[in-house]
């Protein structure tokens, strides 16, 4: 990470927090202006998106190196220091999420070249790429900003463009329109709750800068009804965005019918950014030591996590569409993260954050593989996976590795984070939670095992008298899939780096409200 800091020009790192957001937004405008129905323009749009994602990934690496070496980064947009201007604040909690979003964007954009051609109408491809860049910028802005209202702005920027991206899946399946509409309705309700909560905070504190809010709330104390209302509205709003059970009803349809590229990107990043915001507000803006907040985390958040783990896992077993199996699995995996966070202990927070990072790798790989199945054979149903181990051996092998990691097989990243959750629950005396983790892992064996059994233990379908010939996914789709699948193995064998990032994030959360941190960089 320090080597990245030396490679990049100093001004890039100095203005890195702003560039992460401004660069994709500017590029989105240029891409949207490219002519439609032009093959050359489509490739230019794809190259522009890929170049933007790569540049942002390098910047995110550099910022993470700065945070690790020197501590939190503060940046004043336009040189106007908060509370007059908007400040960006990146620390050990947010820097890994920025890196995760940018790296997933690079891999998914590589994958997108053949995928978008197959799934999106020619006249919509440039606007599609432009909408993706806007969504990408919104997610990065949500994580980087230190201004509460700015969080809402970027939340809406990302959400509105995501609704468009999901709806564009109608070229493949008309149900994408219904799913996008449902996502729009639920997302709008979530955003409304969130902005009302921010309004209550502003009414109580007179500022929108998160550091200032945290400082003033320490003086106000936990007895203010306005503060309690603000907390409840913010949590409900973010709960809808991160698909917390039972606020998850928009997610299965959105994941199932969106274009493959979009589904893989959203599954690996969108809920993670929303979960980050829940951590940021719950632990560093509000004070987690306050009784009503600590009880909320212990009873409601952990309880919702447990219910999500059990019910969504059971629902996944009875789905016939592969994408819906994985979508309900995502709701269950969010439950694992919420369980760790609800413990509010060092081990619990570390385990929840670590599972968030690991889940992005394995679920991204699973959805990339499913997109490749559709690309080659039009496969969306579990029963259609018969013989894929023979007809698409490399793609299916990547899917299998990621699936085993999702189950929590030893030697995979999923095992590392599930073991950390078990340790945290045992330390907390929550032996019932250990039992739930074990039971839901067994349920994961059932719903992932169904898919693997069809691929490896059922005969391939026939074309006339002959078996369907081997027909692997294009290399440009296999490379991102295998990078994520191998990451799930590498970080399962040696998890020192990811665990270190999770521990650093947990220490930030344990430190309580952000009160005063000297600036490292500025927008002057």
pLDDT tens figures, 280-335? 998 888 888 888 888 888 888 888 889 999 999 999 999 888 889 999 999 999 99
pLDDT above 70 coverage of the chain, percent: 92
pLDDT tens figures, 250-274? 888 788 888 888 889 998 998 899 9
Confidence tier at 12 by pLDDT (50, 70, 90): low
Task: State the pLDDT at residue 5.
Answer: 54
Segment 135-150 shows an average pLDDT of 91
Pairwise CA distance, residues 360 & 221, whole Å: 37
Structure tokens of 204? 């109580």
Residue pair 488/414 in contact by the 8 Å Cβ criterion: yes
Confidence tier at 339 by pLDDT (50, 70, 90): very high
- Strands 87-90 and 466-467, sheet pairing: unpaired
Domain boundaries, the chain: 303-513
Residue 523 has pLDDT above 50, yes or no: no
Structure tokens of 54? 């790569």
Pairwise CA distance, residues 77 & 89, whole Å: 11
pLDDT tens figures, 42-73? 788 889 999 999 999 999 998 888 888 888 88
Confidence tier at 524 by pLDDT (50, 70, 90): very low
Task: State the pLDDT at residue 382.
Answer: 85
Task: State the pLDDT at residue 8.
Answer: 62
Residues 6+ apart with CB under 8 A from 490: none
328 phi and psi angles, rounded to 5 deg = -65, -35
Task: State the pLDDT at residue 360.
Answer: 92
Beta strand segments in 420-489, E: 462-463, 466-467
Residue pair 137/57 in contact by the 8 Å Cβ criterion: no
Q: Can you state the angle between helices 175-205 and 225-241, rounded to 10 degrees?
A: 160
3-state secondary structure of 37: coil
Segment 8-18 shows an average pLDDT of 74
On average, the pLDDT of the chain sits at 86
β-pair partners for 88: 75, 145
DSSP state of 300: I
Q: Can you state the angle between helices 95-119 and 346-377, rounded to 10 degrees?
A: 10
Residue pair 63/92 in contact by the 8 Å Cβ criterion: no
Q: Would the pTM count as exceeding 0.85? A: yes
Residues 6+ apart with CB under 8 A from 344: 288, 294, 297, 298
Q: Can you state the angle between helices 431-457 and 302-317, rounded to 10 degrees?
A: 20
Pairwise CA distance, residues 272 & 253, whole Å: 18
**Interior CA angle at 240 toward 212 and 509, to 5°?**
40
Q: Can you state the angle between helices 393-407 and 346-377, rounded to 10 degrees?
A: 160
Residue pair 387/462 in contact by the 8 Å Cβ criterion: no
Task: State the pLDDT at residue 518.
Answer: 41
pLDDT tens figures, 467-481? 555 678 889 999 999
Task: State the pLDDT at residue 464.
Answer: 47
pLDDT tens figures, 74-121? 888 777 777 777 888 888 899 999 999 999 999 999 998 888 888 888
Residue 190 has pLDDT above 80, yes or no: yes
Confidence tier at 141 by pLDDT (50, 70, 90): very high
Residue 416 has pLDDT above 50, yes or no: yes
Pairwise CA distance, residues 226 & 203, whole Å: 8
Cβ count near 356 (within 10 Å): 26
Residue pair 313/443 in contact by the 8 Å Cβ criterion: yes
Segment 165-185 shows an average pLDDT of 84
Pairwise CA distance, residues 293 & 235, whole Å: 11
Q: In the chain, count of helices (H) and strands (E)? A: 22, 4
Task: State the pLDDT at residue 247.
Answer: 80
Structure tokens of 247? 């606020």
Pairwise CA distance, residues 64 & 70, whole Å: 10
Residue 198 has pLDDT above 60, yes or no: yes
Confidence tier at 514 by pLDDT (50, 70, 90): low
Task: State the pLDDT at residue 3.
Answer: 53
- Strands 87-90 and 462-463, sheet pairing: unpaired
């Amino acid at each position: 990470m320090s080597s990245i800091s030396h490679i990049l020009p100093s001004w890039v790192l100095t203005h890195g927090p702003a560039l992460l957001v401004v660069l994709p937004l500017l590029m989105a405008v240029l891409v949207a202006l490219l002519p439609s129905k032009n093959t050359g323009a489509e490739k230019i749009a794809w190259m522009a998106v890929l170049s933007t994602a790569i540049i942002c990934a390098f910047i995110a690496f550099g910022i993470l190196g700065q945070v690790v070496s020197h501590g939190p980064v503060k940046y004043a947009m336009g040189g106007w220091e908060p509370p007059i201007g908007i400040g960006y604040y990146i620390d050990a909690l947010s820097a890994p999420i920025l890196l995760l979003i940018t790296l997933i964007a690079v891999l998914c954009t590589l994958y997108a070249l053949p995928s978008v051609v197959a799934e999106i109408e020619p006249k919509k491809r440039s606007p599609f790429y432009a909408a993706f860049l806007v969504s990408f910028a919104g997610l990065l802005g949500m994580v980087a900003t230190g201004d509460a209202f700015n969080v809402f702005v970027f939340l809406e920027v990302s959400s509105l463009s995501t609704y468009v991206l999901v709806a564009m899946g109608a070229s493949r399946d008309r149900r994408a329109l219904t799913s996008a509409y449902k996502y729009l309705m639920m997302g709008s309700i979530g955003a409304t709750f969130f902005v009302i909560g921010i309004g209550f905070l502003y009414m109580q504190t007179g500022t929108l800068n998160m550091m200032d809010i945290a400082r003033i709330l320490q003086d106000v104390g936990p007895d203010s009804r306005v503060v309690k209302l603000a907390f409840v509205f913010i949590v409900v709003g973010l709960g809808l965005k991160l698909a917390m059970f039972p606020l998850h009803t928009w997610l299965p349809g959105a994941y199932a019918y969106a274009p493959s590229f979009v589904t893989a990107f959203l599954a690996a990043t969108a809920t993670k950014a929303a979960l980050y915001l829940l951590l940021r507000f719950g632990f560093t803006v509000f004070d987690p030591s306050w009784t009503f907040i600590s009880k909320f985390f212990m009873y409601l958040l952990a309880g919702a996590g447990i219910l999500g783990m059990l019910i969504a896992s059971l629902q996944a077993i009875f789905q016939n569409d592969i994408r819906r199996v994985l979508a309900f699995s995502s709701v269950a995996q969010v439950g694992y993260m919420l369980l760790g966070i609800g413990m509010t202990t060092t081990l619990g927070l570390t385990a929840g954050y670590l599972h968030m990072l690991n889940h992005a790798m394995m679920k991204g790989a699973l959805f990339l593989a499913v997109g490749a199945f559709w690309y080659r054979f039009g496969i969306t149903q579990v029963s259609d996976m018969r013989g894929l181990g023979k007809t698409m051996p490399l793609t299916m092998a990547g899917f299998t590795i990621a699936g085993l990691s999702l189950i929590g097989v030893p030697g995979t990243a999923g095992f590392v984070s599930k073991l950390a959750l078990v340790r945290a629950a045992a330390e907390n005396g929550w032996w019932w939670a250990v039992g739930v983790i074990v039971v839901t892992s067994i349920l994961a064996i059932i719903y992932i095992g169904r898919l693997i059994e069809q691929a490896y233990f059922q005969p391939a379908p026939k074309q006339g008298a002959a078996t369907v010939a081997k027909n692997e996914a294009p290399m440009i789709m296999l490379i991102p899939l295998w990078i994520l699948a191998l990451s799930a193995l590498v970080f399962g064998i040696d998890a020192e780096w990811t665990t270190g990032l999770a521990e650093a994030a947990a220490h930030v959360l344990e430190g309580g409200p952000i009160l005063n941190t000297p600036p490292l960089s500025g927008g002057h």
